[in-house]
Amino acid sequence: MSRMRERGWVRSLTGIDGPGVRLVCFPHSGGSAIAFGEWAAAVPSGTALMAVQYPGRGDRFGEPPVDDVAAMADSAAAELLRLPPGDRVLFGHSLGALVAYETALLLRDAGEEPLALCVSAALPPGEMSERNVHLAPDDEFWATLHALGGIEPAVLENKELRELLLPMLRSDLRAHATYRPSPGAGPLSCPVRGYHGEGDPLVAEARLAGWARVTSGEYSGTVRPGGHFHVEHDVPGLVADVLSHGRA
């Protein structure tokens, strides 16, 4: 069973925090750190797998959610910077891609730029066009989330769970919708790797290449089967690809 810290923003999913690379993962809207639990079996020996736990879910369910990407990144970066210095690769999915990007900037400004930034199923910073999903009536909002395939059928059919989850989901999507990149932040210098799920209704493959603008380093992109939640398919292959772009 994975060892996890009691609270805070960063969870260790492998119990390893040695001299090797730390792979730090940032979940999607409505997601929690445990979304990356299956990755623990796929990381090589000596690699630390960590995941960010946003408030309002998992062991932080009783805390009010945070609806601001910059504030999320501030907290995540502050906790990462309290760890001993070391090489990091950041991976963010959907909303998590934006939080990971802002975290990478903060780490860079503190002299600890990650080896690589990997972004999945997310438009480049500032390019989101559909910004009103979180404002839809409950039934319409829930149906939209259902169509994306990111909610288990048992949860979809449970009205009590729906009522518990809706405020947190709205908060996450509001954070995504209201996010604007900081002007004058300056590009990263690390490589950026983009992941597109084939058939993703939220992110056109061609637009993913706009992430090249956030770095003066190399940008590369790849397409995977599985739509918006491609991260659930061939986890070992995805983890290997992510880490291959974080080689020093």
Write out the E strands in 65-148. Answer: 88-93, 116-120
Of the residues 28, 134, 196, 228, only one is catalytic, namely 228
Task: Reply yes or no on whether 28 is catalytic.
Answer: no
Among candidate residues 29, 32, 94, 120, the one labeled active-site is 94
Are 196 and 123 a contacting pair, CB within 8 Å?
Answer: no
> Distance between alpha carbon 110 and the CA centroid of its chain, in Å?
21
Concatenated DSSP letters for 129-165? ----GGGS-HHHHHHHHHHHT-S-HHHHT-HHHHHHH
94 counts as catalytic: yes
Burial class from Cβ neighbours inside 10 Å (0-12, 13-18, 19+) for residue 49 reads buried
The span from the CA of 205 to the CA of 196, in Å, is 6
**What are the structure tokens assigned to 6, written together?**
């009691």
> Are residues 102 and 124 in contact, defined by beta-carbon separation less than 8 angstroms?
no
- Catalytic amino acids? 94, 228
